[in-house]
Structures are given as structure tokens and as C-alpha cells.
């Protein structure tokens, strides 16, 4: 009888006994004969005989393979020990790997091996990683292959040069094996999906006459490549959509929106149109430039306002807000362009004309921005970030442990600084994504250890929409959950109301991807408002965390009634409501009488570094 396969080891960097002997002196190196001009006069050193490897049975997750066969990774590394380490980690999960130790041979090896991804050292003799990346990006058949740098170079400027030069990701040595697997996994999955989308032309939905949203986003990604025409991306939003749906009913409202979408496509000429959600459309016009954008926006707005949609008592005219963004603004990916279009749409809602162009946020004073960025970069390099946890306790009793995760930075004086003191300065910095990534990695490690010890819990984790809207973030997180062997419902992503109002479209896409894995979402700092109420029905939320201003609602009858209305509406939508920053028993009692589900604050327990709160004995 064959031994039972290992299903979910506690730590993926702890392999079976003698596993690493498989990647000793006999690791295959892919040698391609160099051209005559590049041939070395010295003969290659003779390789020592390999130590016979002991066969090892390893369970290979199905996620590491696909219809096109096992994932293929080419490792370009001149250091044999580093190359064997990466090969051992990746090949141990079922991926096919090949090592190329001479940078001049990489392109030829790629043509032969056809890798899904290239894992490359930045510094190699003769031809460094940047020059090699340029060579790959200029190759007609290889230009779309993902390139991930794995290097010990800590220089952020060098990292920026690598990413700006065409690399897809930048990983720092030393790296944990499971993090390497998750990074490679997410990139390969995305690359295979993009290859399928390139091979399959976008199809028009026969019912709506429009492209599917995913197809338009793929076209948007293609429009951002260096050799594309760029053009413009527009968001068109139907004003008062919630009231229209309540007045007409769902069926009549859907018929109206289908008619509006078909009319919008006729107005857009050769531009591509897709419906984004219940009330908004995206228009991608790659041939539109400069001054023509304003006239095109007015044409769409006026064209939707003039005809009457529907018949009889249900006939309506549509008022539309339109936000536009030129695609020559150096956007890193489709997510960044969608984010800019959402910001433009938010400005259009309050503009007298109903039309607004994207205006890039003004950078802070150079010395202030540089100071904050340097402090955070140093803290990341020196591992001076810490996580604190605050329990979220059910008012009706319950022993299910769950905590809010809070980020802290220990400064040079040894003092812990809360996230509110340093994160706002990083809103437009790439470091914000690094911090979000760092937080999620630590959270997943913590959850894995607890589940291994049969002490499961749920963690609420704040994340910025700028990170969540990155093209590869959902794939990376799904892969990381798989690698850690965790159920999705152990994780709740925290979204701030102010951010969610701006980034609704990109968040909808991320949430839909993660819901299939069981990940839940919480809308935080919630206050009553028309846009906020509409958002509750637009995002697949499980939790609602009230704004701290409601913590003292007992002092104001108006505020107390407003809070009760918020809680009632949330409950009708099936959401659980959390009272936040509760400091005294009177505030807790008022929330309890208003129907709150959970309480969080110093009244329960101050945030700390441990996860040992006694939920079973907690009495409010």
C-alpha cells in the first residue's frame, strides 16, 4: 500500500526527509551552445558524480497544473546554490523547471522550453537582468512571458528600473519557499489566462450588444502596452439608478439598462463598450486623442439624455455623469487606469456639466514625502513593523475568536506608531502595496499556525484599494491561501468607506474573485449617506463597522436615531454590524439596545500583540 500523501504540512519550507538531496549535485542545467563569437575558450568544469537520490512521494496540489500541463519555470541564475534552491522549491510542488546559468543562452532556452515564467537574477556576468529583459521583450514570440526578478539587491531605485524596464515582479532574497511558490503561482495563472484571452477575440453579448466586462479589461491592458495607441477610457454612470429601480421594478429597470447600453454603443462608434455594474458602463476608445475627448464625452451625455427609454408611465430620460482618463499617464496596469477613471467619475458627479477629466493627485512637498517614504522603507528593510490585535466580541455571546488586525511601526526611538500616523503620507507611493503585502503574509502565517494547533480564528485585515485593484493581487492571495492550507472564511478584508466610494468598480471585481474562495469583506468607518447606502448593495459585504462618531450616540437623539436606521438597514441586507471604539459601558449599552451584533474597543480590551482573549467567558 502506498503511503498517505502529505496534504497540508504546517510549513511548506519543511520538506520530507532527504528531499533536498534530490537537488544536490545532479540538478539538470539547461546548456545551449553559445554562438562562435561568445564561446568561452575555457572548457566547462567537469561535474562531480551525483549522489543517488531517494525517491520521495509529494502530494502535488491540482492548482499547480492546468489544461496546458504542469507550470514551466525557467530559472536564469549564475549562482549554482541559488539556482538549486529555487528549483528545489518549485519542482517540489510539481512545476517543471530548467536552470540556465549563462545569460547569453536564456533566449534560446526559452524558445526550446517555452516557459510560463522566467525567474531571473538581476546581476549576472556579461548580460545583466535589465538588458536580458529588454531582449526578451523585443522577441515577438517571448515578449508576453512574465519575468520575476529574485535578487538580494536592496536598492529601491534599481528595483524601480527593473519594473519600469518590463519586469513583472521583484522578489527580495532571502525569501521563504512558500512565498516564492505563491508569487510564481499567481503570475503563471494570470499569464495563462491572458494567453487564452489573446487567442480568443472578444465576443459581443447577444442580449446586451456589449462586450463582457472581462474582455474590455483585457483590451484595456493591451492598450497600456508600450506600442499601443493608448486612447481614452471613460466611465458613464446613470444618475439616480437606485430610485429608478425602486420605481420601475427589477425587470423593467434591466430592460431599460439594456436599451441604454445598446444606444450608448451606437453613440460610441468604433469604441468598445461594456456594462460595469447595475448602473454604469465603461467605454474604451483607443483612437481618441486630445481635444476630441471633451466632444466625445458631451456626445455620450447628450445622446443618452435626449431619447425616452421605456413606454407609457415607465418612460424616462436618463441623466448621466461621465469621467474620462487619457491612457498616456504611465499607468502600470489596467487596475491603475480603472482607479483613475473612478476618480474622474466621482468628480463628474458634482460637476455642473456632469463631465470631468482625471486629474492626477498633486504630490506632497518633496522633502516631506521623501522623509515619510524613507522612514517606511527603512522600517520594511529592518523588519520594524508589528501587528497588534483587538478582539471583536459578540454582544449576544459566543466563543468564536475574531480580531481586528492593526499595523504598528516601531520608530528609531523604540516607540510604536499607529498606522494613521504614517500611512496617509504613502497614498501615492508604491510602498503602500508592499506594506499591504507584508501585512497579509504575516496574517496568513498566523492563521496557519493557529489552524495547525486546532485553534482556528478569524482576522479582519485592512487593505488599500490601490493594492486590491492590482492585476495580480487576487491571484496571489488565492494562491497564498492554497499554499497555507487555509479556508477563505478565516480572512475578512477591511475596506474603508471613503476608499470604497471611489474604487467601487475595481473592488467589485476583486470581491467577486475572492468570494469563490470564501473570503469575506467588511465596510469600515460607515456613516449614513445616499452614496454609502447604495454601496451596501453594490459590494458583497458580510460585515459593517460603524464610524467612531456613533460611539457616543447616546448624547444626541438625532445621532442615535440615525445609527439605529443604519443598523436596521444593514440587518435587512443580511450584514453583521460592529460598534467601533467603544470606551465606556454606557456607549456599549446604547449600542446593545440599538441591535448591534459586535463590539470592539478598549472597553473590551486594548489592542495588543497576543491572541489569547477569552471569548467564551466574555460578558458585556
Q: For residue 336, give the 3-state DSSP assignment.
A: helix
Cα distance from N-terminal residue to C-terminal residue, the chain: 55
Give the cell for residue 132.
536580458
Least confident range from 14-28, 88-102, 352-366: namely 14-28
In this prediction, residue 63 carries a pLDDT of: 45
In this prediction, residue 50 carries a pLDDT of: 38
Residue 243 pLDDT > 90: no
Residue 302 pLDDT > 80: yes
pLDDT in tens, 340-353: 898 899 899 989 99
CATH assignment of 19-199, among 3.40.50.2300, 2.40.40.20, 3.40.50.150, 3.40.47.10: 3.40.50.2300
Give the cell for residue 137.
521583450
> What's the rounded Cα separation, in Å, for the pair 62 and 170?
26
Q: What is the mean pLDDT of the chain?
A: 81
In this prediction, residue 107 carries a pLDDT of: 92
Mean pLDDT of 429-433: 76
Residues forming beta bridges with residue 316, ordered by sequence position: 309
241 pLDDT band (50/70/90 cuts)?
A: confident
Least confident range from 46-60, 363-377, 427-441, 463-477: namely 46-60
Q: For residue 239, give the 3-state DSSP assignment.
A: coil
Q: For residue 575, give the 3-state DSSP assignment.
A: coil
Of 544, 545, 554, which Cα lies nearest the Cα of 587?
A: 554
> What's the rounded Cα separation, in Å, for the pair 241 and 255?
13
Residues 135, 63: contact at Cβ < 8 Å? no
pLDDT in tens, 147-164: 999 888 777 777 777 776
Cis amide leading into 174 (omega within 30): yes
202 alpha carbon, distance to own chain's centre: 24
551 pLDDT band (50/70/90 cuts)?
A: confident
In this prediction, residue 44 carries a pLDDT of: 46
Question: How do the domains of the chain map onto residue ranges?
Answer: 19-199, 213-357, 390-403+429-599
311 pLDDT band (50/70/90 cuts)?
A: low
Tell me how far CA of residue 600 lies from CA of 35, 392, 581, in angstroms: 67, 5, 6
Q: Kindly report the three-state secondary structure assignment for every residue of 226-245.
A: CCCCCCEEEEEEECCHHHHH
In this prediction, residue 126 carries a pLDDT of: 80
567 pLDDT band (50/70/90 cuts)?
A: very high
Q: For the domain made up of 390-403+429-599, give the CATH fold.
A: TIM Barrel (3.20.20)
Of 117, 132, 57, which Cα lies nearest the Cα of 92?
A: 57
Least confident range from 43-57, 160-174, 231-245, 460-474: namely 43-57
In this prediction, residue 198 carries a pLDDT of: 59
Residue 65 pLDDT > 90: no
Which of 449 and 161 is assigned the larger pLDDT? 449
Mean pLDDT of 499-519: 87
Residues 121, 76: contact at Cβ < 8 Å? yes
Least confident range from 49-53, 203-207, 224-228, 338-342: namely 49-53
Give the cell for residue 168.
513583472
Q: How many helices (H) and strands (E) does the chain have?
A: 19, 22
pLDDT in tens, 466-493: 888 876 788 889 888 988 899 999 999 9
Least confident range from 28-37, 494-503, 537-546: namely 28-37
Residue 5 pLDDT > 90: no
Q: For residue 612, give the 3-state DSSP assignment.
A: coil
In this prediction, residue 329 carries a pLDDT of: 66
Residue 232 pLDDT > 90: yes
**Percentage of the chain with pLDDT > 70?**
83
CATH architecture for residues 213-357? 2-Layer Sandwich (3.30)
Which of 143 and 234 is assigned the larger pLDDT? 234
Give the cell for residue 197.
484571452
Mean pLDDT of 415-437: 81
Amino acid at each position: 500500500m502506498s503511503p498517505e500523501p502529505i496534504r497540508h504540512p504546517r510549513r511548506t519550507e519543511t520538506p520530507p526527509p532527504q528531499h533536498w538531496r534530490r537537488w544536490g549535485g545532479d540538478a539538470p542545467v539547461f546548456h545551449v551552445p553559445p554562438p562562435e563569437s561568445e564561446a568561452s575558450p575555457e572548457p566547462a568544469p567537469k561535474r562531480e558524480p551525483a549522489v543517488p537520490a531517494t525517491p520521495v512521494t509529494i502530494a502535488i496540489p491540482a492548482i499547480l497544473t492546468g489544461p496546458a500541463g504542469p507550470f514551466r519555470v525557467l530559472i536564469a541564475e549564475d549562482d549554482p546554490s541559488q539556482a538549486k534552491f529555487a528549483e528545489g522549491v518549485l519542482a517540489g510542488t510539481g512545476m517543471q523547471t530548467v536552470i540556465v546559468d549563462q545569460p547569453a543562452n536564456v533566449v534560446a532556452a526559452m524558445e526550446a522550453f517555452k516557459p510560463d515564467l522566467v525567474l531571473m537574477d538581476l546581476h549576472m556576468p556579461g548580460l545583466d537582468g535589465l538588458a536580458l529583459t529588454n531582449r526578451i521583450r523585443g522577441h515577438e514570440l517571448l515578449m508576453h512571458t512574465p519575468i520575476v526578478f529574485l535578487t538580494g539587491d536592496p536598492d529601491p531605485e534599481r528595483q524601480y528600473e527593473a519594473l519600469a524596464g518590463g519586469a513583472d515582479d521583484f522578489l527580495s532574497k532571502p525569501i521563504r519557499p512558500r512565498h516564492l511558490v505563491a508569487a510564481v503561482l499567481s503570475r503563471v495563472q494570470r499569464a495563462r489566462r491572458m494567453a487564452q484571452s489573446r487567442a480568443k477575440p472578444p465576443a459581443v453579448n447577444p442580449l446586451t450588444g456589449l462586450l463582457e466586462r472581462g474582455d474590455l479589461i483585457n483590451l484595456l491592458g493591451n492598450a497600456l502596452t508600450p506600442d499601443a495607441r493608448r486612447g481614452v477610457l471613460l466611465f458613464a454612470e446613470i444618475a439616480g439608478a437606485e430610485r429608478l429601480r425602486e420605481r420601475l421594478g427589477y425587470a423593467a429597470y434591466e430592460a431599460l439598462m439594456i436599451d441604454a447600453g445598446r444606444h450608448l454603443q451606437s453613440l460610441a462608434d468604433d469604441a468598445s463598450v461594456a456594462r460595469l455594474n447595475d448602473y454604469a458602463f465603461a467605454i474604451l476608445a483607443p483612437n481618441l486623442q486630445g481635444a476630441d475627448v471633451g466632444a466625445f464625452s458631451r456626445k455620450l451625455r447628450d445622446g443618452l439624455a435626449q431619447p425616452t427609454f421605456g413606454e407609457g408611465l415607465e418612460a424616462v430620460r436618463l441623466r448621466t455623469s461621465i469621467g474620462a482618463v487619457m491612457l498616456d499617464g504611465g499607468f502600470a496596469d489596467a487596475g491603475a487606469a480603472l482607479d483613475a477613471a473612478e476618480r474622474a467619475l466621482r468628480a463628474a458627479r458634482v460637476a455642473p456639466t456632469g463631465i470631468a477629466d482625471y486629474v492626477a493627485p498633486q504630490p506632497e512637498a518633496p522633502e516631506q514625502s521623501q522623509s515619510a517614504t524613507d522612514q517606511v522603507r527603512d522600517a520594511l528593510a529592518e523588519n520594524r513593523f508589528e501587528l497588534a490585535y483587538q478582539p471583536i466580541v459578540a454582544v449576544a455571546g459566543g466563543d468564536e475568536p475574531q480580531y481586528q488586525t492593526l499595523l504598528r511601526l516601531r520608530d528609531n526611538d523604540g516607540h510604536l506608531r499607529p498606522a494613521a500616523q504614517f500611512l496617509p503620507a504613502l497614498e501615492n507611493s508604491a510602498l503602500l502595496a508592499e506594506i499591504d503585502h507584508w501585512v497579509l503574509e504575516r496574517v496568513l502565517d498566523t492563521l496557519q499556525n493557529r489552524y495547525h494547533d486546532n485553534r482556528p480564528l478569524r482576522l479582519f485585515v485592512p487593505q488599500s484599494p490601490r493594492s486590491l485593484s492590482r492585476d495580480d493581487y487576487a491571484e496571489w492571495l488565492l494562491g497564498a491561501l492554497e499554499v497555507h492550507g487555509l479556508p477563505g472564511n478565516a480572512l475578512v478584508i477591511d475596506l474603508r468607506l471613503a476608499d470604497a466610494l471611489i474604487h467601487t468598480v475595481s473592488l467589485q471585481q476583486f470581491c467577486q474573485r475572492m468570494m469563490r474562495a470564501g473570503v469575506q469583506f467588511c465596510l469600515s468607518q460607515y456613516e449614513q449617506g445616499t452614496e454609502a447606502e447604495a454601496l451596501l448593495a453594490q459590494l458583497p459585504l458580510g460585515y459593517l463597522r460603524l464610524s467612531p462618531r456613533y460611539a457616543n450616540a447616546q448624547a444626541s437623539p438625532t445621532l442615535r436615531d440615525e445609527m439605529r436606521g443604519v443598523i436596521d438597514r444593514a440587518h435587512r441586507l443580511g450584514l453583521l454590524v460592529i460598534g467601533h471604539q467603544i470606551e465606556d459601558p454606557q456607549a456599549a449599552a446604547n449600542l446593545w439596545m440599538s441591535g448591534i451584533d459586535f463590539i470592539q474597543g478598549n472597553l473590551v480590551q486594548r489592542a495588543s500583540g497576543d491572541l489569547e482573549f477569552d471569548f467564551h467567558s466574555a460578558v458585556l
